[in-house]
Chains A and B, each alone.
Chain A
Amino acid sequence: MKVLVTGASGLLGRAVADALHAAGHDVRTFQRRPSGLAHAQDVLGSVTVPAEVDRAVAGVDAVVHLAAKVSLAGDPAQFHEVNVRGTGNVLAALARHGVERLVHVSSPSVAHTGASIVGDGALPADPARARGDYARTKAEAEVLALAADRPGLRVVAVRPHLVWGPGDTQLVARLAERARAGRLPLLDAGTVLVDTTYVDNAASAMVAALGRLDAPDGAVRGQAYVVTNGEPRPIAEMLGGICTAMGAPAPSRHVPAALARAAGSLVEAVWRVRPGTDEPPMTRFLAEQLSTAHWFDQRRTRADLQWAPAVTLDEGLRRLRAASGTPAG
C-alpha cells in the first residue's frame, strides 16, 4: 500500500521509510528538507501548515506520523504548534481524504510522572502530569490521535523508548560529543535500569503495527504500545557501551541526582526565557530520565503487534561500532 511517513529526515523516520519499502510498500515522505531516500517520493512542507499536510496525505492508504519537535528545552508555544497542532492537522487531512490507517509515533514520556518505571506496561498518556513541554505536548497529541480511532479510521500509537543506532545525530552523537568533552556525568551511581531501542527494532515495530491495524480482531485499534529492545541495562553500562562503540571514553564522573535535577530546573527556566540554538546541558526532564529506572513489560506489545526485536543490544552496539569506524575490542 502507499504509506506516508511524516518526519522522515531523522534517524527513526528514515529507518521506518526503509523498513516500509523493504516490506513492499510505496513510501512517500513529508518533512521540511529532502529525505535523501532513493526509494521514496518526497513531499516537502511542515505539519504546522494544513494545506501542506493536505497535499502530502492526498492519495495514500496509511500514515506513519513521526514529525514532532523533539528537544529538551525551548519555546513552549513551538512544542504545542508542532506536536499538538501538527497532529491535529494530520488527523484533519486523514478525514478529508478518507485515509483509513494511522500509526501515531509517541513516546513513553507521555505517561511518565517522574517516578521510576519498573516493568510497567503502557499507562495512559497523561498531559496533566507529564514532565516538560515535549512530553506534555506529545501526551496531548497521543490522546488526540487515539481518540480519532473510529469506523473508517484505524489508529494505533507506538511509543519507542530511547531510540539509538548508527547515523544518529541526536542521542548517540551528542552523548559521544559530551563524553569526549568530559561533560557526560552519571547521576548517583548510574545503577538505574534503562531499556532502549535499537533503531531497526523500532522501525520494524511500526511496520508490524501498521500491518496489525488491518487484522479482523481489531486488537491494536485505539491502543498505545511501548516498544523497546526488552533488554534493560544499568544506565552506566548502557552509556558506557554507546560511548565505547563511538570511540569516546565511558562516563565515570558521578553527580548527585538531586543536584542535577535542581540545576536542570534552573537551566530549563533560563533557556525558556532566552532560548539558544544549542541544547541546554541539563534539564530537569533529562535529570529524571537519567536517575530513574525506565524499563517496560513488553509482553503485551509483542503479543498484540506479533513482533519481536530482531537486533539484540550487543548486535546493535557492534553495528554502531562498525558504522562509527571504531576499532573492535
Chain B
Amino acid sequence: MTSPGAPGPTAPASLPPRGLAGLDAGFSRLVRAPETPLTAVPEHGAGRAGAGSSAGPVRTWHVLDNGGRLDELGREPVGTVLCVHGNPTWSYLWRRLVAVATEAAAAGRPAWRVVAVDQLEMGFSERTGAHRPLARRVRDLGDLTDALGLAGPVVTLGHDWGGVVSLGWAVDHPDVLAGVAVLNTAVHQPAGTPVPAPLRLALRRGVLASSTRRTTAFLDTTLALAHPPLDPAVKAGYRAPYRSAGRRGGIEGFVADIPADAAHPSAAELDRVAAGVRALDVPALVLWGAKDPVFRDRYLDDLQARLPHADVHRFETAGHLVAEDVDHATAVLDWLDDRFGEHDAGGAYRAGAGGATLGADADTHGRHAAPGHVEDAPADVAAHAAPGVDRPAHPDGVADDDPRPGRPAHVGPGHVEDVPAGHPAHAAGGTAGEWGDRHPLWYRLESLAGSAETALVELAPSAGPAPRVVSWRLLARRVREIAAGLDALGVRRGDRVSLVVPPGADLTAVLYACLRIGAVVVVADAGLGVRGLTRAVRGARPDVVIGAAPGLSAARALGWPGRRISVAPLAPALARALGVEHTLADVAELGARREPPAPPGPDDTAAVLFTSGSTGPAKGVVYTHAQLAAACRALATRYDLGPGTGLVAGFAPFALLAPGLGARTAIPAMDVTSPRTLTAAAVADAAAAVDATVLFLSPAALANVVATADGLTAEQHAGLGSVRTFLSAGAPVPVELLARAAELLPHATPHTPYGMTECLVVTDITLDEIRDAAGAPGPDVPGGVCVGRPAAGAVVRISALDDDGAATGTPSTEPDVTGEIVVSAPHLKQGYDRLHLTDRASTLGTATSSGSDTGPRAGTGTGTAPGPGPGPERWHRTGDVGHLDAEGRLWVEGRLAHVVVTADGVVTPVGVEQRVDGVPGVARSALVGVGPRGAAVLVAVVETGPAARRPGLAAPDLAAAVRAAAGRPLAAVLVVPRMPTDVRHNSKIDRTRLAAWAEGVLAGRRARRP
C-alpha cells in the first residue's frame, strides 16, 4: 500500500503509440527540463531558461507542439497557446486544437503555436515517483516553459485541475502573459461549502487508491461524462497512457491534492492562485459545460466574479468534457483571432478568413419571439400585498453575505478597446455613463410622485373582489421604499433579481425598484415550461428570487439559486419551508425611512430577458438601462403612449414599460397562465377603467376575445370605442383575426409589429398596409409575410444568402435580395448572457462584430448605413430570412435554420407554404428539406381539415394539388394529424423536428406522429 506522498514507481517519458484516434504523431515530442526546487525564488519572464542556479533532477515531458510544423510552413507564430490538461486526461484532450491551429496557419490565418503538455506523472510524461502538490505542479510548468524558451505572448488554456495549474503559471508569468482561457475548472472552494460529492467519495479513505490507481474506475467515470458518449476509439486514446496501476499514480495524486479544507497542504497555493486571478487584466475566455457534476455553475460564478471582463460561453448541453462535447478548437481560435488579431504585424489576416459561417448557433433568435415575460407564471393564489401590512422588519442577518462589488456587468460584443470609459468593464462598482438629455426608466415615476391620478388598475386582484387602483403617488412611494429596502438588505447594483410575480401592481413596483437601484432584473417566461424555466433561472444565477408562493415553490422544488423574497405574507412554516427570508411588505417597511442608493448609469446592465425558447434553447438577452429606456421611447413614439394615455396590455413588456412612459395601465381579469381565456368583456372593462387608447393582445388572447365578442353589452362596446391603436404580436397574426378585431374597435388602427426579444420593435404594419401588400407578390417573387417598414428608429439590412444558404452577404438595402435580416436600433439588446459564441454569431460581419470589422462576410458595409442613434452602431443578426421590396417593406420568408439548400438553389419556406395553404383541404403546411444540405429535396407536410387520422403519404389528389400549387418541385407530400409546435404559442411549427421526422418516414421508418 502506498499513500500519496510516498515514492511510487518511476518510468521514463515516452512517445505515445502510433495510431491513436485523431492524434497526429508528428506533433509529439519529448522535452527535458531541469526541476527547480520550490524553495528557490522564482524568476519571471522569458529568456531565463538555464538561468536557474539550483539545478535539480532533469525531468522529461511529453508535449504536443506544432512549432516545428509552423517552421516548415514558414509561419512566424503570433503567440503560443499553452494547454494544460486536468485529471485524468492528457494532452490528447487538445489534439483537435493543435490540428486546427496548424490548419489555420497553413490557410493564412494568424499562426498560433500550440504547446499541449502532459503533466509529470500523467500521460506519456515521466513518472518521477514523487507526489506533486499544486505548488510543485505550477513550478513544474514554469520549469518546462523555461526549457522550451517560451517567449511571449502566451495564452494559457486549462481544463479541470489543469485550469488551476495554467492559471497559476499565468499569475507567475505576467510579463509574457497575453491571455487566459479555461474550460470547466475551479480556483476557489468557497468556505463552508463541501467539495463536490463525486470527489468527496473519491477522497474517502480506502476509496482513493482503489478508484484512482488500482482500478480504472476514476478514469472510466470521467470518460463517461461526455455528451454525447465518446467514440470507443477516442476512449482508447484517453486510456492509452494509463494501462497499468503503476502508470496511474498521478491520477491518485491529483485527487489527493484537492484541498478539501483550509488545512490541506495545497490550500494556500490555491488561495494564492485564486487571488492572483482576480488581478489579471488580460483577455479571458471561459468555455463552460453546464452539465458537469463536479464543476457546477457556482464555480463559473466564482470565475466570472474574478474575471468580470471574460468572454463566457456556457454550453447548456455540454458537460465536464466540454473539450469533447463542443468544438472548442474553433471557439478558441476564433476568440484568439478576435482578441489578438493585431499581433499579426503582417496585416494579411482578416477576421473570419477560413470560412466562419453562421452555424446552428446562429439559430438563436426568435422570429416574432415575444420578449420573455411573467404573465404566464402560475397564478398567485396567496398574493395580497396591501401596502402597509405590518410585519417586523429584519434589517440585519443577510446583508453580510458576499457583497461582490465587482459583480460582472455584461460586457458587450464590441472591441475591447471600444468599451466606453464609463463601462462597467472599466468601472466596476461605479456609475456607468451619463444620462445626458436621455431619461432613465424611473424618471416619469419620480416626476409624477405627487400625482393622485391613477397609474395602474388591476381589474381582478387576487386579494379581493374590487379592482385595485394605484395612484402615481402610491406607486412612486412603493418603488422608493422597496428600492431602499432592497438596498438595506444588501442587494447591490449588478446583483441579479429573478422575478416570478404575476403582472400587477406588485410586479410593477418591484421591477422599478430593482431598476432604480441597479439590480439586474431577470425575467423568464413561464411559457418555457418548468424545465426550461429552471434552466433559464439557473443559468442566470439570480442572487435574489422575488416571487409569489407558486413561483417560490417551484424555486424551492427545483433548487434555484438565490435568496427568497415573497410578494405576499406567508405563514411562518410555509416561509421556512420555502426558504423565504422576507416579504415585500418587510422590504418596504425596511426602506420606508431610508433613501435609495445612487441610481445606476445608462450603460449599466438593467435586465436579462429570456427568449421564449420556441425557436431554440432559451437564451438570456441582456439590456442596459439606456437600451430599456430606448425601448420605452420606441413604444411611446410609435404608438402614442405617454402621460394621459391609457393602455390595456395582456403582454408583459408593454405593460411593464407603460409606467415608465407615464401612461395608465389596466391589467384585465384573466388567468395569467392561459392568455387564451381572456374574454372580450374583461378587455372592455379594463379599457373603460383607464379610458384606454392603446390595446395590446397576444394572438392567442385575441382569438378568444373575438370569439367572445357576442356577449358584450352596449356599455362595454362603448368602452372599446376609446381605443385608437390596437396591437397584436408575439407570433404571426392571421389577417382575418386582425380584421375581426378591427370590427370590435371601430376607432382603432390595428397594427402588428415585427420584433423579437432582442429588439422589441423592428418594423410595423397596419391592417390596411397588410391588405395592400397582399396584392403585390407575383409568381416570381420569393413571397413571405409582409411585416411593414422599419419603425421606432430601427434600421433593417439584408445579408444575402450564398449558394450554401449561409448569410454571407454584406448587409444592404438592395430590394428583392433574400438574406438574413440584420437590424440595428437604439433599443437593441446589449448581448447574450454567458453566450459568447452566440453573441459573436449574432453580430458577425456587422459593425458590432467582436471580430475584426474587415472580415470578408460583410466588411464594413454597414458603414454605408447611418447609425440609428448615438453611440457606436450595434447590429444584430435576427436568424430570420427575408427581403426588402422596392418600397422598403420587409418580407419575412422564414428562419435561417429552416432554409433548404437544394441542388437547384436555396429555398425559403414561407412563400411555398403560403401557396400550399391556399389548397382546399389544407389547414396549414410546412416546407422542409430532406437529405444532405446542398442536395436536399423539398417535402411539404400538411395538416388537413378535417385532420388526418394517421400520418403518411397524402392521397394522390391532394398530393397533386399541393404539387401544382407549390411552385417548386416537391419530392413528397405528407399529411400529419397535427403539426408539432412550440409549447408557448402553439403557432410556431417545429420545423427541425418535422424535417427529421419526414426524413425518417421517407427512408422507411415507421410513420409515427411527428
Chain A interfacial positions (CB closer than 8 Å to B): 116, 118-120, 188-193, 230-234, 236-237, 240, 250, 257, 291-293, 295, 297-299, 302
Indicate if the CB atoms of B932 and A119 lie closer than 8 Å.
yes
A297-B903, A297-B932 are known contacts. Are A292 and B971 too (CB-CB below 8 A)? no
B902 vs chain A, min Cβ distance (A): 10
Indicate if the CB atoms of A299 and B903 lie closer than 8 Å.
yes
Nearest 4 pairs of A and B residues by beta carbon: A119-B931, A297-B935, A116-B1003, A293-B1003
B1009 vs chain A, min Cβ distance (A): 13
A232 contact from B932, B953, B971, B1001, Cβ within 8 A: B971
Q: Which of A116, A189, A298 has the most CB of B within 10 A?
A: A189
Tell me the complex Cα distance, A26–B984, Å. 69
A119-B936, A230-B903, A299-B903 are known contacts. Are A240 and B1006 too (CB-CB below 8 A)? no
Indicate if the CB atoms of A193 and B932 lie closer than 8 Å.
no
Residues of B within 8 A of A298 (CB): 903, 935
B648 vs chain A, min Cβ distance (A): 49
Residues of A within 8 A of B956 (CB): 237, 240, 250
State whether the Cβ of B463 lies closer than 8 Å to any Cβ in chain A: no
Residues of B within 8 A of A190 (CB): 953
Indicate if the CB atoms of B953 and A292 lie closer than 8 Å.
no
Tell me the complex Cα distance, A116–B1002, Å. 9
Tell me the complex Cα distance, A120–B936, Å. 10
State whether the Cβ of B122 lies closer than 8 Å to any Cβ in chain A: no
State whether the Cβ of B934 lies closer than 8 Å to any Cβ in chain A: yes
- Ordered by A's residue number, 10 sampled pairs between the chains whose C-beta atoms are within 8 Å are A118-B931, A189-B952, A191-B1001, A192-B1003, A193-B930, A193-B937, A230-B903, A233-B971, A299-B934, A302-B903
A118 contact from B934, B972, B1003, B1006, Cβ within 8 A: B1003
Q: Which of B930, B932, B1003, B1006 has the most CB of A within 10 A?
A: B1003
A118-B930, A295-B931 are known contacts. Are A237 and B1003 too (CB-CB below 8 A)? no
Indicate if the CB atoms of B903 and A292 lie closer than 8 Å.
no
A77 vs chain B, min Cβ distance (A): 33
Indicate if the CB atoms of B1006 and A234 lie closer than 8 Å.
no
Residues of B within 8 A of A240 (CB): 956
Indicate if the CB atoms of B1002 and A192 lie closer than 8 Å.
yes
Indicate if the CB atoms of B1004 and A293 lie closer than 8 Å.
yes
Tell me the complex Cα distance, A295–B1004, Å. 13
Residues of A within 8 A of B1006 (CB): 188
Indicate if the CB atoms of A236 and B931 lie closer than 8 Å.
no
State whether the Cβ of B19 lies closer than 8 Å to any Cβ in chain A: no
State whether the Cβ of B959 lies closer than 8 Å to any Cβ in chain A: yes
Tell me the complex Cα distance, A234–B936, Å. 15
State whether the Cβ of B999 lies closer than 8 Å to any Cβ in chain A: yes
Residues of B within 8 A of A191 (CB): 952-953, 972, 974, 1001-1002, 1004, 1007
Residues of A within 8 A of B465 (CB): none
Which residues B923-953 have CB closer than 8 A to chain A? 930-932, 934-937, 952-953
Indicate if the CB atoms of B1004 and A237 lie closer than 8 Å.
no
Given contacts A120-B932, A190-B953, A297-B934, 12 further A-B contacts (CB under 8 A): A116-B1004, A118-B932, A119-B936, A189-B953, A193-B972, A193-B1003, A237-B953, A250-B956, A292-B1003, A295-B971, A297-B932, A299-B935
Residues of A within 8 A of B953 (CB): 189-191, 234, 236-237
Q: Which of A189, A193, A237, A298 has the most CB of B within 10 A?
A: A193
B997 vs chain A, min Cβ distance (A): 11
A119 contact from B937, B969, B1001, Cβ within 8 A: B937
Indicate if the CB atoms of B934 and A295 lie closer than 8 Å.
no
Tell me the complex Cα distance, A95–B447, Å. 99
* B950 closest partner in A (C-beta): A189
A118-B931, A233-B971 are known contacts. Are A192 and B1004 too (CB-CB below 8 A)? yes
A188 contact from B903, B930, B999, B1004, Cβ within 8 A: B1004
Residues of B within 8 A of A234 (CB): 953, 971-972, 1002
Indicate if the CB atoms of B971 and A231 lie closer than 8 Å.
yes
B1004 contact from A236, A291, A299, Cβ within 8 A: A291
Tell me the complex Cα distance, A189–B1002, Å. 10
Residues of A within 8 A of B1003 (CB): 116, 118, 192-193, 292-293
Indicate if the CB atoms of B937 and A232 lie closer than 8 Å.
yes
A237 contact from B903, B972, B999, B1001, Cβ within 8 A: B972
Residues of A within 8 A of B932 (CB): 118-120, 297
B844 vs chain A, min Cβ distance (A): 28
* A115 closest partner in B (C-beta): B1003
A19 vs chain B, min Cβ distance (A): 24
Q: Which of B953, B956, B1006 has the most CB of A within 10 A?
A: B953
B857 vs chain A, min Cβ distance (A): 25
Residues of A within 8 A of B974 (CB): 191
B466 vs chain A, min Cβ distance (A): 61
Interface flags for B883-915 (1: CB within 8 Å of A; 0: not) read 000000000000000000001000000000000
Residues of B within 8 A of A297 (CB): 903, 931-932, 934-935
Residues of A within 8 A of B931 (CB): 118-119, 295, 297
Tell me the complex Cα distance, A157–B1002, Å. 28
Tell me the complex Cα distance, A291–B936, Å. 20
A187 vs chain B, min Cβ distance (A): 8
* B1002 closest partner in A (C-beta): A193
A65 vs chain B, min Cβ distance (A): 29
Residues of A within 8 A of B903 (CB): 230, 297-299, 302
Q: Which of B930, B935, B959, B999 has the most CB of A within 10 A?
A: B935
Residues of B within 8 A of A231 (CB): 969, 971
B996 vs chain A, min Cβ distance (A): 12
Tell me the complex Cα distance, A304–B64, Å. 42
Tell me the complex Cα distance, A291–B1004, Å. 6
A50 vs chain B, min Cβ distance (A): 42
Tell me the complex Cα distance, A240–B972, Å. 14
B788 vs chain A, min Cβ distance (A): 38
Q: Which of A120, A234, A292, A298 has the most CB of B within 10 A?
A: A234
Residues of B within 8 A of A257 (CB): 1004
Residues of A within 8 A of B1002 (CB): 118, 191-193, 234, 293
A231 vs chain B, min Cβ distance (A): 7
Tell me the complex Cα distance, A143–B971, Å. 32
Tell me the complex Cα distance, A297–B901, Å. 12
* B937 closest partner in A (C-beta): A232
Tell me the complex Cα distance, A179–B835, Å. 59
Which residues B977-1004 have CB closer than 8 A to chain A? 999, 1001-1004
A163 vs chain B, min Cβ distance (A): 20
Indicate if the CB atoms of A193 and B952 lie closer than 8 Å.
no
Tell me the complex Cα distance, A233–B969, Å. 11
Indicate if the CB atoms of B971 and A193 lie closer than 8 Å.
yes
* A232 closest partner in B (C-beta): B971
* A300 closest partner in B (C-beta): B935
* B952 closest partner in A (C-beta): A189
Interface flags for B106-120 (1: CB within 8 Å of A; 0: not) read 000000000000000
Residues of A within 8 A of B969 (CB): 231
Residues of B within 8 A of A250 (CB): 956
Tell me the complex Cα distance, A190–B1006, Å. 10
* A244 closest partner in B (C-beta): B956
A107 vs chain B, min Cβ distance (A): 20
Which residues B304-322 have CB closer than 8 A to chain A? none
Residues of A within 8 A of B935 (CB): 119, 297-299
A317 vs chain B, min Cβ distance (A): 12
Tell me the complex Cα distance, A298–B904, Å. 11
Residues of B within 8 A of A116 (CB): 1003-1004
Residues of A within 8 A of B971 (CB): 193, 231-234, 295
A250 vs chain B, min Cβ distance (A): 8
Residues of A within 8 A of B937 (CB): 119, 193, 232, 295
B928 vs chain A, min Cβ distance (A): 13
Q: Which of B931, B952, B1004 has the most CB of A within 10 A?
A: B1004
Tell me the complex Cα distance, A116–B1001, Å. 11
Q: Which of B937, B956, B959 has the most CB of A within 10 A?
A: B937
* B999 closest partner in A (C-beta): A118
Tell me the complex Cα distance, A257–B969, Å. 28
